[in-house]
Structure 1
């Protein structure tokens, strides 16, 4: 078991916030997710707002099968066109800290990384969008944060209709995903969330297609987190007309 060098604060769902120094056991337990407070890398709410409003509506930076060093440099180059040095430095500090943490947990040297502005137009264009509908991820593990706008919305296990998600990876109606549609939780804006998806032989065609893109068709992998992946969706446009979301995912299933 590898010990993390970072001083993280982690909250396992339904438990109090606890200080821990080791997240490596998360991939082996049955918890669908943990909330993480990355200190001292956290940018302020004002900085996050200024960053999100400085980026164009169609901003996105995606890195597939790239080394971590290339990803970090690519993020810097992509963002430097729009952000002043102070905002750029603040955002990169937190992103780099998250990338390093994820690498320590997963040992994945070429994770899938995405930073994007999400607007209502983006959501409708990407139909059926994971930003709008409850779903389970195709990736094994994902670390994500909404820097601006409402955080991800997730369902407690007791309220998750697992029977539906045995055969489907996305629910076009909330009533299919949850027994009580009103009973949901929102990730606080200050927190990152480390969550499990599901990868296994015989997974639905939609998620299998994603795995094929990332790993290549016919790739073999060990079953991971079947039946326990977090059911979640993107936040709503309540007080903002956009969201700024970063995700880093691994499709490795052995840790």
Structure 2
């Protein structure tokens, strides 16, 4: 339960949904039937919808990751052949995927400089590299599995690594770099209001809008900033009167949270 709560806290409901639907899509594609292909399309579309909702500031980078996946996977597959035409096609696909990858790296570094965030990008670079490597292996593993030259778990493992690393590649610029703490109502800069949970003493960030004089919290469903109380202005889900601690799960009114 602690692990599930941690993942939900970091990714939000839609981020977790993206991983789950991608995994469902993967399992459906392995069925090899017409129903399996239909479910593969359905779950894939739902996963992309969750990606759009979870990473609304950087969802376009998800399209770049799809480009890397398609071109590097195709390139890796062509490079397993030994004739000149396949090798040339594979090399062109690999160069295109590397160009997209380098463009993504440059864009994220530039974003970090413009927003003046100092979050280290070491794990992000590693995750992007993992995504690229397993994208190269995925289509080859799949084709070898079809002709009984490699076990199914190699392809499945490659796809799981692609899904997890891809979500992390989007999560870092969304949460750690691109996010500005601005009021969702009046768009003015918010003051961070740190408070500790009365039950477990874990610190949580609340926000205060000086202009509108109201408290702002993160919606527990979509993880976006919204007004405290009532409904989330983004996903329209009804919020609880109290604020749930993301660490221990206890719920307390805003006044009960201890100011630091």
Judge same fold: TM > 0.5, yes or no: no
Q: Larger helix proportion, structure 1 or 2?
A: 2
Larger relative contact order, structure 1 or 2 (CA cutoff 8 Å, min sep 6): 1
The alignment's TM-score, normalised by the length of structure 2, stands at 0.31
The structure richer in strand per residue is 1
Question: Which one has the largest radius of gyration?
Answer: 2
